[in-house]
Structure 1
Amino acid sequence: MNRRSFNKILLGTTALSFATCASIADTKLSTNKKRVIVVGGGFGGATAAKYLKKFSPDTEVMLIEQNKDYYTCPFSNTVIAGINKIDYIKHDYKTLESKYKIIVKHEKVQKVDGTTNSVILENGEIIPYTKAIVAPGIDFKYDKGYIEGSEEYAPHAYKAGTQTVLLTEQLQNMKDGGTFIMVAPANPFRCPPGPYERVSLVAHYLKHNKPNSKIVILDQKNNFSKQGLFQEGWEKLYKGMIDWRSSEFGGKVISVDPKTRTIKTDEGDIVADVLNYIPEQKAGKLAFDSGLTDGDWCPINTKTFESKLVKNVYVIGDACIASPMPKSGFSANSQGKIVALQISRILAKQEVINPPKLANTCYSLVAPNYGISIAAVYEAHDEKIIDLKELGAGGLSPSYANESIRMQEAEYAVGWYKNQMTDIFK
C-alpha cells in the first residue's frame, strides 16, 4: 500500500463537517441534555473531545485534564538529544476551548463513577454525564529497587515534561567517556520503538559532543520493534557505540540501586554515569480507581471502545486492550476519532459503524536526517481487532535504503508530528 492510499483510509474514517455552540456545564443533567465528559487530555482524549464536538455539535463536551500544558512523548527524544527545546513538545487547550467551544476544566479526577454516571473531582465536585471517555494513560510498576522517588536519580522520562528536562541535563553533564545505560521494559509498554529511538538520538548527541562515551541497553525482552532497521542504522552511524543486551544474553535486571546507578544483572554488576530506567507499565491509576481494569489494563468492546466492566464509559489510548494495535500516540489519535464517531451515532440513535477501521503509523529518528517507519491499518470486529497487513495494508521501511530515502523518512517524521499536533490541538 502506498502512502497516498494509506492516507485515504485515514481520511475516510473522519470525513466531517461541524458547527460550534457555547454551553455551560450544569451540575445536573436535564432529560433532553447530552453531555460527554472526556477525562485525560493526551493524544486520545484531546482528539476525542475535538472530534466529538465536530460530529455532534449539539452535545456538550467537557474535557477534564489536570495540567494546563501537555508535553508529548513523541519527539521528546529530540529534546533529550538537544535537537529541540522543551517548548517544541509543549501544547495547550486554548484552541479547543475557544474555537470548538469545548468546556475545559483543569482539575484532578478522583474517580469516574459508573454507578451514578458521574465524574468525581478531588475538590469534591460531582459532574454527571451521559457518556464518559477515559484516557488515563500509563502508570509504572515499581520493583527491583526502583521505587517512587527513584526518578530523581534515574529518570525514566516516559512521561514527558520535568523528567525530559532532568534526563537532558544529566546527559549534558555526563563526562566524555562515560556510560549511558538504559533499562528497557518488558512488553506491553507505551510506544514500542520509543526506547530505541531514544538510544539512537542519545548516540547522535554523544557522537558529536562526547565521542568517547558508550551506551548499554539492558533489555527485558529478546527482541524489539523495528529491530533490524534500528540495528542497521546503529551499525552505519554509531558503530561500536551501542551495546544491546537481550534478556536472554546479559540484559535481565535482577535489582537496581538508583542512587548509585548500579544495576545487578545475571552477568554481574554494571554502573552507569547516567541511568535511564524505564519501568514496566500498567494503566493509569484512575483506571484502577474507576473499576475499569482487569489485570494491568482495561478490557473494551473493540467496535466502540466501551468498557467491558463499566457501562457508558469508553477507554482509549495506552490504557486499553486493543492488541494488535500498539500503545502509540497515533493509535490513541485514531481511537479518539472512532470513539467520537461511534458515540455521536449512539447519541443520535443511529447504528454504529461496523466494522470501524483504525490505523497506526510510527516514525522513528535514528538521527536527525535518518528516519524509519512502520504503518498498519486495522478493522475492529466482535471481540478482536484485525491487522489488515495480509491484504497489503501498511508496511515497514525498506532495509538498506539509500540516504535520500532515510532523509525523506526523517522529513516525514517532522511533518507527521506537526500534522498530529494540528489535528489534535488546533
Structure 2
Amino acid sequence: MTTTETPDTLQRILDYSSRADPYPLYAELRRTPVARQEDGSYVISTYRELMDILHNPHLSSDVRNLSRPMAAAEGRATPSFINLDPPEHDRLRRMTMRHFGPPHTPGLVTSLEGDLTATVSGLIDGFAGKEEVDIVDDFAYPFPVTVICHLLGVPREDEPQFHVWVNAIIDSIDYDPKTDPKEKLDKGTQASKDLNQYLGGLLEQRHGRAGDDLLSRLANDDGPDGRMTDAEIVSTAHTLLIAGHETTVNLITNGMLTLLRHPQVLQRLRNEPGLVVPLVEELLRYEPPVHIIPWRAAYSDITVADTTIPKGSQIMLMLASGSRDPNRFHDPDRFAPDRRDNQHLGFGSGIHLCFGGPLARRETQIALTQLVHRLDRPRLVADPPPYRRSPILRGPIHLPVEQSDGPHPHGSQGH
C-alpha cells in the first residue's frame, strides 16, 4: 500500500523537537510501510520491507542513479565504496577488507584488545576528582577517535583539526534546500575537500614505505585486485575516519544512557560480564547509532509491498523504525538484553552491512563493561540530555553524569 498521507509524520521525525524520542512517530510511519512523499521520494519504515529493499539487486547506493540530483552530493570527490554499486563496490570493499578483517587479517580486532582496554581505563582514570563527567566529551568521543587514528595512521594530535571538518560534513548530510541555508551545504562540501587534501598529504608520505597502518598498507599493496588509486584510497580513508568514530560515539553514549535509565540492567551487567554481548546487540536494535539511510536510488522499477517505486526515485530507509517493528520483534519498545533472534538493522543489511561492525561492537562492549564497574553510583544530570542536530546519526551531544566518589580503582568490580 502506498499513500502520500505521511509527509507530516516524516517532517516531524526530521524536526529537532523529536530528536529525544522519535519512536512514537516511527510507529505512525509504519502504518504505511512504503509511503510516497510529495516530492516523489519514498519512505520505507517496516522491517520486512526494509529487508526486501536492502537485499534487492535493483537498489542503488550511487547518487548518480537518482533521476533528480541531490544538492548534498554535488561537488564531492571520488565516491567511497559505500556509495557505489557492484562490481566497483565489491572490488574496493574486498581490497580494504584484506587489511581490516577476515579472511586475510582475521585477528585484527582481537589483537587490539589490550590497547582498547588500556585506552578505556586511562580515560576513566581521568574522571578522578570529578563529581560530574560528560560521557561524550570525556569518554565516548576520545576513545574511538584514538582507535581509528591508530588503525589508519592518522596522527592523534591532528584530531582538533579534522574534528571541525567532520562536524561540518555530518551537519550537511541531511541538508534540505527548502529549509536550510546554503552555507550549511557549502561548509560541508569545503570540509570534505579539506579532509581529502589532508588525507592525501598523509598518503603521499606512505608510498614506498612499509607500515602497519591502513594508509601504508593500501598505498603499497598489490593484491589479487591490483592496487587502489590514490583517489580511491583517500575516499576510503575519508569514510573510515568518519564512520570509524561517529557511529561508535553514539552507540556508547546511547548505551550508557539506556543503562542509567534501566538501573536493574546496569546492576546485572556488573554481576554478569557475559551479558554485555547480547546487551550490545539489543542496544543496536533499541537505540541504534544510525537511524536513517537518507537516500538510495532505484536502478529500475522496484516493487515493495505491492507498491511500484519508479526508476530513479529517491528512497529513504528508516532503519531504526524497522528495528522497533512489532511484526518482527516481540514487545519492541522494551529494552531486553536477553532477547533472542535479534536480527536488528543497527548495522544495516545486505552488501552494505556496516564494514566496521565487529570493531564497533567490541569497543562498545569494553567501554560499557568498564563504565558500569568503575563509576560510583552514576546518575543522569538531565533526562533527556541534549541531542545532536542530526536525525540520521542520532545520539546525545553531551551526557552529563554525576558520580559519588570518583571512579573505582582499575580492576574493581563495583559494589
Q: TM-score range by the shorter chain?
A: under 0.3
TM-score for the superposition, normalised by structure 1? 0.24
TM-score for the superposition, normalised by structure 2? 0.25
Higher relative contact order (CA 8 A, sep 6+): 2
More strand by share: 1
